[in-house]
């Protein structure tokens, strides 16, 4: 067969085969058969040795033109096939967002967090500033500046975790109050939320790790009436307008006078029940006027300034708020319990 006719036949057949290729993979196989090292067009190029020197240039030009045409067919078909395969893959991977599905279960705020945030919001609304401090504390701030010197009996009641003789895990957040009094001049109005530590056995009402919010107000002419009004506003916002407060004399080294503060029983509203032991009252927090010695030790003139302080256990008011009878439920992470607060 004439070489020219042979090349023309190859081009015609290659064009048809390329049009019939069903996939990019089939097209790549055709490319190798036609243009590869052992391909048909390459074989024709090697046959140039049988031609005369005069015939070779024209034949070589025909081979190059044929290669260009075949590569053009391949490129066009490849583009078409890739678009088709992309469309098919997109159709297969299409997600119908209207189909019903099971949404992932989301976490919920912990009851402790709910109450803590509510208490903070209450006192911030009364003009208090939130201040935090270290949980690993010096004995000086945890005890001495709060009128609890070494060998004071009150230290035994704290059940303290000692790291060494002068470093402790704080037993209350009062050290934050001492630090603020040393660093600032009155007026001072702060609350100090945080985690505290005491060597208690774990049971329904005790834990070696729990949370407190303590408050401090220092200014001129601060009285017990201011303390009672502040705690009354706090109790009413947290538990309702019918809640009343009752002060009973008590003793704390850093306040004088001191008081235990009771609230109207949240459960029976004062009528008497098992929770309040038929008294109609529930003990919630401790409070009092800041001891003048504490003011003086912190560099505040007790003849000019006075103040009050109070402290409340967050777990205690959380349990009262939601009727939780065992503190351990707050820490065990049982989803059946926690989902009730979603």
Average confidence (pLDDT) over 104-118: 87
CA 168 to chain CA centroid, nearest Å: 28
Average confidence (pLDDT) over 40-55: 74
Q: 155-164, 173-182, 301-310: which has the minimum mean pLDDT? A: 155-164
Q: What span, in angstroms and rounded, lies between the C-alpha atoms of 156 and 174?
A: 17
At residue 61, φ and ψ (nearest 5 deg) are -65, -40
Mean of the per-residue pLDDT values of the chain: 87
Please state the pTM of the whole predicted model.
0.67
For the segment 121-157, what is each residue's pLDDT rounded down to a tens digit? 999 999 999 999 999 999 999 999 999 988 877 777 6
Average confidence (pLDDT) over 165-183: 94
Helices vs strands, H then E, count in the chain: 12, 10
Structure token digits, residue 157: 């009641």
Rg (CA), the chain: 42
């Amino acid at each position: 067969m004439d070489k020219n006719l042979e090349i023309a036949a190859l081009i015609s057949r290659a064009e048809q085969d390329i049009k019939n290729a069903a996939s990019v993979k089939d097209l790549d196989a055709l490319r190798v058969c036609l243009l590869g090292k052992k391909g048909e067009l390459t074989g024709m190029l090697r046959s140039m040795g049988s031609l005369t020197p005069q015939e070779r240039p024209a034949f070589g030009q025909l081979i190059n033109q044929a290669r260009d045409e075949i590569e053009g067919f391949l490129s066009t078909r490849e583009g078409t096939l890739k678009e088709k395969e992309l469309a098919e893959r997109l159709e297969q991977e299409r997600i119908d967002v209207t189909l019903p599905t099971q949404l992932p279960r989301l976490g919920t705020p912990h009851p402790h967090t709910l109450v803590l945030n509510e208490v903070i919001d209450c006192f911030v609304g009364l003009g208090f500033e939130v201040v935090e401090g270290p949980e690993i504390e010096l004995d000086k701030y945890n005890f001495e500046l709060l009128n609890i010197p070494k060998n004071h009996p009150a230290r035994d009641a704290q059940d303290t975790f000692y790291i060494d003789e002068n470093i402790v895990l704080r037993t209350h957040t009062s050290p934050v109050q001492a630090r603020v009094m040393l660093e600032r001049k009155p007026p001072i109005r702060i609350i100090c939320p945080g985690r505290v530590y005491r060597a208690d056995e774990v049971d329904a009402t005790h834990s070696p790790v729990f949370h407190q919010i303590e408050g401090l107000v220092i200014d001129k002419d601060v009285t017990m009436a201011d303390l009672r009004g502040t705690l009354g506003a706090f109790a009413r916002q947290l538990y309702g307008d019918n809640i009343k407060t009752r002060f009973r004399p008590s003793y704390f080294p850093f306040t004088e006078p001191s008081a235990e503060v009771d609230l109207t029983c949240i459960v029976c509203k004062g009528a008497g029940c098992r929770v309040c032991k038929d008294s109609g009252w529930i003990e919630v927090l401790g409070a009092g006027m800041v001891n003048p010695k504490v003011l003086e030790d912190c560099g505040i003139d007790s003849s000019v300034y006075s103040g009050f302080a109070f402290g409340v256990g967050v777990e205690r008011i959380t349990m009262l708020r939601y009727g939780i009878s065992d503190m351990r439920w707050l820490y065990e992470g049982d989803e059946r319990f926690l989902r009730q607060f979603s």
